[in-house]
Each structure stands twice: as structure tokens, then as C-alpha cells.
Amino acid sequence: MNTTASQAAFEAAQQLIPGGVNSPVRAFKSVGGTPLFIAKGEGGYLIDIDGNRYVDYVQSWGPLLFGHRDESIEAAVIEAVRNGLSFGAPTLAETELAKEVVGLFDSMDKVRFVSSGTEAVMSAIRLARGFTGRDDIIKFEGCYHGHSDALLVQAGSGAATFGNPSSPGVPADFTKHTLLAKYNDIESVKRCFEQSSGVACVIIEPIAGNMGLVPATKEFLAELRSLCDAHGALLIYDEVMSGFRASLYGAESITGTKPDLITLGKVIGGGMPVGAFGGRREIMAQLSPEGPVYQAGTLSGNPVAMAAGLAAIKKLKAHAPVLATLEARARRLVEGMKTAAEANGIALHVDVRGSMFGFFFNDAPVMNFDDALRSDTARFAAFHRGMLEEGFYFACSQFETGFISTATTDAMIEATIEASARVFGRLHG
């Protein structure tokens, strides 16, 4: 596979951009090799600047539910562009997308648009703190909620539940109100509540995608809801990744447990920069200018981004059963890969939720981050490289999730399974 142009491009980019990328995961650090510079996308394919074509299972880390260059989204963006790129004033498109989104989530009366998932989560946490008058928040090891300071925490020493900064540049004071619990472990959440002087919110990816794909159990989410109610804390579902990917109506429609606030991103922008957070009327009423909790953004609700998001959400609503089709394709993919791996003595733990799929080089079920960390990341890296050479573009980390788009055909799935058998044959158990 010739990647000379990407190699030269990566060298040049590193002279001007830290690590040569504008988001760390893209640098291929955990899988090795040169990140591929992409020239264009076509349906279910990516084409790099050396002309190599790949079946794309990353889809910009989730946004492209309809694949690259979807005609209806592209037409909507071009039409919007012809009216101007941005006004810094309200537009009808924002209200129209808000109506679509609020109509899909039982637990949402109002929504505010921002320009990224990080902004959505950062704002939702400030709103929860403003609404409750409390400072502490609880998050889960292995869940990622964007890079705002209070959420860049790692487990403290020993039994301590208060988090320490996971990145230089984050003062300890900024994370001293963040407590860490273990995913799918309600006793660990109880310990956090016991150690806190007042919890504003618990934030969780109800279908975690940032430690690999690890869904929370229905029982765990129900117990989490009860704990939050008992302590007067808000429950925030971070569905930036799982929103519109696992279900059209949110994780609440799958698990039966309703959150107080939901954060969204990725698919809601159809490939353009959009994040959102929403919830019950009395909570959202605290948000400026209606209420005292400040939050703002120059390009929030940008009309071009709204047009892309509106086209994507309308298309999904018009073809709602498509998520079941994508789930069947995702299941065929990972079950086929699992069979091919096991035929070569390699253990693979797989799971799907709607159009999201995950696989761990792990011989045991993965219920939390500790389990995920026991996966064989060296073998994942070798698999990732081997599949690239075969023409299949998977997420460049064991701790990410894969995606099926409507442009991912059955033929692509079968070709992927066949290629995985060749790669597993070279990896051997």
C-alpha cells in the first residue's frame, strides 16, 4: 500500500500543527504507522491522498450516519450557503431543528445548540450546578465527555473517589469537585454520594463508546436514577456519540430510564460542527438570557450547520427502521469477525447497539474500564494495520467504537469479514 504522499503530508503538518493533527486520536499513536491524509469521501468509502480507497468504519467518529456526500445533506448545505454563512442572529432553521430534536426525546422540553460535544457537556454541567446550587459531579472511569477541565480527571489514589487531573494544565482545584465511579457498579456510585457534600449531577454515557463499546445495563441505569432522585442530583446522559446512532429516541427508549438532561453532537450536525443539550423546562429555564446560568457562542446555531443537521435528522425520521437494518449489518460484521478470529485461536469480545459496534481483543466480557484495559492493545494495533492494508479503515484505538452507515453495503461487510480472516490468519492465536 503506497502512502508516500501521506507520509510527506504528515511530516509537513507536524512542522506547523502539534503532532500534525487537530485532534490527538487522529495521529495513530496507539496503533503506529502514519496517519492517512484524506482527499475525499464517497458514500461508504474514504480515499486518501495516495489514491488508496478504504471502507470507512470511522465516519468522522460517528457523525456520518448516511455516509460521505449524502445528496440531501449536501443539497441543504449548498442552499443554506447561498443565503450567507452566519448572522449572529436567530434564524428559522434553529427553531426547526429544535422542534425536531425535542420531539424525539421524551425527557426534553427545550434544547440549546452549541458547536461541539465538549461545549454541550461543559454547558450542561454548569446548568446542573446552577439548577441545584451544588458543586460536586460524578463521572465514570472510561467515559469521555470532551476536554473541559472538570472532566479531565483520572482515578485518585487508593479508595479515594475524588479525581485528580488527567492532564497538565488542569489545576487540582478544577477537578476537586469531580468524583469518579466505576461503570456498571452501583456500590461505587453510592460511595461517591457518601463522600460528597452535595452532588449536582451524575454524567454517564448510557451506551459508552469511549472505552470501546460498553453499554450500561438496564438495571444499573435504573439504580442510578433512583440514587439521583434520593439525593436530589440530576442525571445527565451524554449521547454525543450514541444519539441517533443507537436509537432515534435516545438511550431512554432502549433502557427505560429517563435522564434530566441529554447532551448531543455528531449526527445532529450531519457532519457540520453542532452540539446540543436539552432537558425539562424548569431546568432549561435557568439558562441565560431566561435565567442566570451563563452560556454563549458566536457560531452556536449556525444556519449552515443547522441545515446539515436538519437534513440528517429529517432523513433519519423518514427512514426510522433503517437503524434496525444497520444493527443487523453491524451484528453480521462483528459476529463474522469473531468467527474468523476464533478459527485462528484469537479471542474477540464483540457487541453492537444500533449502528455502533465494538470488538475487544479480550477473552472475557467487558463491563467497565478495568475490563477494557485488559484487552490486547498490541494485537489490536496489528489488526488495525493489517485491515488498512486490506482496504478497511477502522478506529485507530482499541478504546473507540466503530460505525455502520447507510452507505455500508452488505457486500462491504462480507468483504470486511473475508479480509479479517486473512489478517487473523497472519496474527494467529
Residue number, 270 or 336, with CB nearest to ligand KE4 = 270
183 in active site: no
Length of the chain: 429
Residue number, 115 or 423, with CB nearest to ligand KE4 = 115
Of 3-11, 113-121, 185-193, 343-351, the segment contacting ligand KE4 by CB under 6 A is 113-121
Cβ atoms of 424 and 341 within 8 Å: the answer is yes
Instruction: Report which of 160, 157, 212 is spatially closest to residue 183, judged by C-alpha positions.
Output: 212
338 in active site: no
DSSP string for 70-111: -HHHHHHHHHHHTT-S--SS--HHHHHHHHHHHHH-TT-SEE
Q: How far is CA 45 from CA 51, 53, 271, 370, 423, in A?
A: 12, 7, 15, 34, 20
Residue 66 CB-half CA count within 13 A: 23
Ranges within 265-284 binding ligand KE4 (CB under 6 A): 265, 275
Contacts of 12 (CB under 8 A, 6+ apart): none
DSSP string for 333-388: HHHHHHHHHHHTT---EEEEETTEEEEES-SS---SHHHHHTS-HHHHHHHHHHHH
**What's the DSSP call for residue 35?**
P
Of 47-55, 116-124, 173-181, 368-376, the segment contacting ligand KE4 by CB under 6 A is 116-124
| Cα(115)–Cα(272) distance, integer angstroms | 9
Contacts of 130 (CB under 8 A, 6+ apart): 286, 291, 292, 293
Residue type, 124: A
Of 202-210, 224-232, 314-322, 362-370, the segment contacting ligand KE4 by CB under 6 A is 202-210
CB of 245 to ligand KE4, least distance (A): 10
CB of 310 to ligand KE4, least distance (A): 18
The catalytically annotated residue of 144, 183, 237, 393 is 144
Among 7, 8, 19, 25, binds ligand KE4 (CB under 6 A): 25
CB of 119 to ligand KE4, least distance (A): 7
Among 10, 177, 400, 404, binds ligand KE4 (CB under 6 A): 400
Cβ atoms of 132 and 233 within 8 Å: the answer is yes
> Cell 450531519 belongs to which residue?
270
Of 236-244, 345-353, 358-366, 410-418, the segment contacting ligand KE4 by CB under 6 A is 236-244
Number of residues counted as binding ligand KE4 (CB under 6 A) = 19
CB of 274 to ligand KE4, least distance (A): 9
> Would you give the binding string for ligand KE4 spanning residues 29-68, x where CB under 6 A is met?
--------------------------------x-------
Residue number, 269 or 336, with CB nearest to ligand KE4 = 269
Contacts of 264 (CB under 8 A, 6+ apart): 101, 117, 120, 239, 240, 243, 244, 275, 276, 277, 278
Among 59, 91, 118, 257, binds ligand KE4 (CB under 6 A): 118
Among 3, 6, 91, 116, binds ligand KE4 (CB under 6 A): 116
Joined together, the cell numbers standing for residue 405 give 452507515
> Would you give the binding string for ligand KE4 spanning residues 119-158, x where CB under 6 A is met?
--x----------------------xxx------------
144 in active site: yes
CB of 356 to ligand KE4, least distance (A): 11
Cβ atoms of 127 and 139 within 8 Å: the answer is no
Tell whether residue 238 is a contact of ligand KE4 (CB under 6 A).
Answer: yes
Joined together, the cell numbers standing for residue 419 give 479480509
Residues with catalytic function:
144, 238, 266
Which parts of this chain interact with ligand KE4 (CB under 6 A)?
A: 23, 25, 61, 116-118, 121, 144-146, 205, 209-210, 238, 240-241, 265, 275, 400
